[in-house]
């Protein structure tokens, strides 16, 4: 007998539900996290290219960074 639910089957079912909901939560957050990381990488690579373009020395403007 389980002291909280009063029976083994009730306890087992509640644990199964808990594990299932935790797996669902983790998988949903993993997808969100991967999407955010992809977006961050795209933005950072775009910003890096823009920075290189803007700081590239030209005939009319010497390099800003020596």
Does residue 12 sit within a domain? yes
- Which segments of the chain does DSSP mark as H helices, in order? 8-55
What pLDDT is stored for residue 43 in this prediction? 78
Domain count, the chain: 1
Euclidean distance between the first and final Cα of the chain, in Å?
75
How would residue 15 be classed by pLDDT, with cut points 50, 70 and 90? confident
Does residue 50 sit within a domain? yes
Higher pLDDT pick, 37 / 6: 37
The pLDDT tens digits for 29-46 are 777 777 777 777 777 888
- Tell me what percent of the residues of the chain surpass a pLDDT of 70: 71
Q: Is residue 6 predicted with pLDDT exceeding 50?
A: yes
Which residue segment(s) compose the domain that 2 sits in? 1-56
**Among 26, 23, 2, 24, residue whose Cα is nearest residue 13:** 2
What pLDDT is stored for residue 1 in this prediction? 45
Q: Is residue 59 predicted with pLDDT exceeding 70?
A: no
Token pair for 4: 């909280």
């Amino acid at each position: 007998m389980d002291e909280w639910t009063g029976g083994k089957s009730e306890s087992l079912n509640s644990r199964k539900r808990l594990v299932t909901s935790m797996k669902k939560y983790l998988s949903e957050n993993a997808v969100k996290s991967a999407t955010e990381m992809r977006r961050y990488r795209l933005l950072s690579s775009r910003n890096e290219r823009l920075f290189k373009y803007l700081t590239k020395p030209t005939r009319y403007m010497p390099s800003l960074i020596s």
